[in-house]
Amino acid sequence: MGAVLATIKAQGFEIDYNAAGLYKPSCNEAYPDWWTVQQAKAMGIPLVYGSDAHSVAEVGQGIHDIETRIN
């Protein structure tokens, strides 16, 4: 994963930190995983909220949890 993060950093990309997994019974966690998020933050790679919303009711779901983790 380190090489992937290095490429993301070199290209000036951001990572979608997605809350959808928090609401999936078989997952119960955001993705990418916490280790990847910590590595990205340490490397200065921006993380942006994502939700995979497929309905109006899902827009913004989990945003407060993700924002807390990003900051």
* pLDDT band with cut points at 50, 70 and 90 for residue 66: confident
- Share in percent of the chain as helix, strand, coil (round to 5): 50, 15, 40
CA pseudo-torsion sign 25, 26, 27, 28: positive
Q: pTM for the whole thing? A: 0.81
CB atoms within 10 A of CB 28: 9
pLDDT tens-digit series, residues 11-52:
999 999 998 888 888 988 899 999 999 999 999 999 999 888
